């Protein structure tokens, strides 16, 4: 009897030690097990995939378009023509997911400007005859046709529907002194006090050239931040640059589509505007619920009128590269070699349809309760059972718990972390059975 009680006390202590160890790892070393947690997350994400429903169309600069129009980069007049075409098709918002951060280096235009300057400034041509006037007119007409920046800026200004991208180099700012930003940049940001928690920071911002940016409907960042395993699961809604918070490209597109602005955003423990609610996770990130069936149209097909205007009317239309070699392809839980524009479209769909993955407020409590429950089960129940019976019951509990986590994710979009309690159950069962085996061996 004394040996039995002593063994019971020993098993109880072992169960408590394992539980405390699990809690310690959960709070202080959880990152080391995140690959296992993310593995189950990704399986759940693949099982949850639903059809795309948002009013979004993607015009893809794909292999077919490059084969027909020539290798990238194209003359910016091509993009201007597309914007003008979408304007005639009555697209509601146009997202141009291409960073034009430098002026177009058009050597032909530079030569024409040099000739014009030579004619206008040379005393020999001070008395212009009819031939000189005709030549200047022809050269200036050529200047207009060759000035791709001017052509694109005119299209952006005339449309008043174009959202342009910002790109940030991420990291801690070296120079924290605040410097003034152009109005058209600052107007696309929020003060840092908008968020109580920390944000992702950047010491450097890449913007479109001012002739494009000043007439854009909005600006938003296109930074994609993968988790430590290289897989993209979330969207950074804001990036902090020089004490201003800049929204993501997808968030700006959604706001403008809904006829809203950054000032319409409200923050509690979630980001709210109009009837939309975005759950916030980590550094003001949004977990992405990946969808299938995003409408893609080849740039070449659209230009050649092979796609009906109804495909773009009253929609968010995003012009973006999708061909390999002209953009960094991403990995998501549901696919490999994903063009960044698909992630943008998925975020828009999540926001407009109010369909999100979230960590509910009770997730941490449930996880801690399950760690405690499995700890007590290891300490008090497993020692009373035969090894075979204990294995069956433990397996049922383990499967039920893992299925519960996957079910909550697939059906409700609730992300709980089942791996930590599950590992405690597995390790605890093995430890108790191993201890029993060693004691049996010692007494023989």
Give residue-wise pLDDT tens across range 15-64: 566 666 656 655 555 556 678 889 999 999 999 999 999 999 999 999 99
Quick one: pLDDT at residue 436? 67
23: which 2 tokens?
A: 């809690």
Mean pLDDT of 273-300: 93
CA dihedral 41, 47, 50, 52 (to 10 degrees): 60
Question: Rounded mean pLDDT of the chain?
Answer: 85
Task: Give the model's confidence band at 2: pLDDT under 50 very low, under 70 low, under 90 confident, else very high.
Answer: very low
- Most confident range, picked from 102-106, 318-322, 387-391: 318-322
Q: Residue 173 contacts by C-beta under 8 Å, 6 or more apart in sequence? A: 201, 202, 203, 241, 242
Distance CA(210)–CA(399), nearest Å, equals 58
For residues 93-114, average pLDDT: 77
pLDDT band per the 50, 70, 90 thresholds, residue 441: very low
Close Cβ partners of 97 (under 8 Å, ≥ 6 residues apart): 165, 222, 249, 318, 319, 320, 321, 340, 341, 344
What is the pLDDT at residue 395?
A: 94
At residue 122, does pLDDT exceed 80? Answer: no
Neighbours of 12 (CB within 10 A): 15
**Statement: residue 97 has pLDDT above 90:** yes
Give the relative orientation of helices 387-407 and 34-48 as an angle to the nearest 10 degrees. 60
Under a CB-based contact definition with an 8 Å cutoff, are residues 394 and 441 in contact? no
* Section 424-428 average pLDDT: 83
């Amino acid at each position: 009897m004394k040996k039995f009680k002593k063994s019971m006390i020993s098993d109880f202590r072992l169960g408590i030690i394992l539980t405390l160890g699990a809690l310690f790892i959960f709070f202080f070393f959880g990152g080391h097990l995140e690959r296992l947690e993310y593995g189950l997350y990704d399986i759940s994400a693949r099982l949850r995939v639903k059809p795309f429903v948002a009013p979004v169309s993607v015009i893809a600069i794909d292999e077919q378009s490059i084969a027909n129009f020539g290798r990238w980069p194209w003359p910016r007049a091509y993009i201007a023509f597309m914007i003008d075409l979408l304007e005639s098709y009555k697209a509601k918002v146009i997202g141009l997911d291409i960073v034009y951060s430098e002026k177009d280096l058009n050597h032909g235009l530079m030569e024409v400007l040099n000739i014009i300057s030579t004619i206008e400034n040379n005393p020999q041509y001070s008395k212009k005859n009819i031939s000189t006037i005709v030549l200047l007119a022809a050269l200036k007409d050529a200047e207009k046709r060759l000035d791709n920046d001017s052509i694109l800026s005119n299209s952006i200004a005339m449309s008043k529907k174009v959202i342009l991208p910002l790109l940030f180099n991420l990291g801690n700012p070296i120079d924290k002194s605040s410097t003034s930003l152009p109005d058209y940049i600052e107007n696309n940001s929020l003060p840092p006090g908008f968020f109580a928690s920390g944000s992702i920071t950047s010491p450097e911002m890449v913007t479109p050239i001012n002739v494009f940016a000043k007439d854009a409907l909005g600006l938003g960042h296109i930074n994609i931040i993968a988790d430590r395993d290289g897989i993209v699961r979330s969207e950074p809604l804001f990036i902090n640059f020089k004490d201003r918070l800049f929204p993501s490209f997808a968030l700006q597109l959604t706001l403008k589509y809904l006829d809203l602005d950054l000032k319409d955003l409200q923050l509690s423990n979630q980001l709210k505007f109009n009837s939309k609610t975005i759950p916030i996770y980590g550094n003001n990130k949004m977990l992405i619920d990946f969808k299938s069936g995003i409408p893609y149209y080849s740039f070449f097909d659209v230009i050649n009128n092979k796609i009906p205007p109804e495909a773009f009317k009253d929609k968010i239309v995003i012009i973006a590269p999708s061909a390999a070699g002209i953009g960094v392809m991403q990995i998501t839980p549901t696919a490999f070699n994903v063009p960044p524009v698909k992630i943008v479209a998925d975020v828009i769909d999540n926001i407009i349809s109010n369909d999100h993955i979230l960590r509910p407020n009770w997730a941490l409590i449930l996880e801690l309760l399950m760690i405690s429950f499995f700890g007590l089960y290891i300490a008090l129940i497993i020692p009373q059972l035969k090894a075979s019976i204990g294995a069956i019951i433990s397996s049922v509990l383990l499967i039920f718990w893992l299925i519960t986590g996957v079910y909550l994710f697939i059906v409700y979009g609730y992300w709980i972390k089942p791996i930590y309690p599950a590992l405690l159950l597995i390790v605890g069962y093995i430890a108790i059975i191993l201890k029993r085996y060693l004691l049996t061996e010692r007494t023989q």
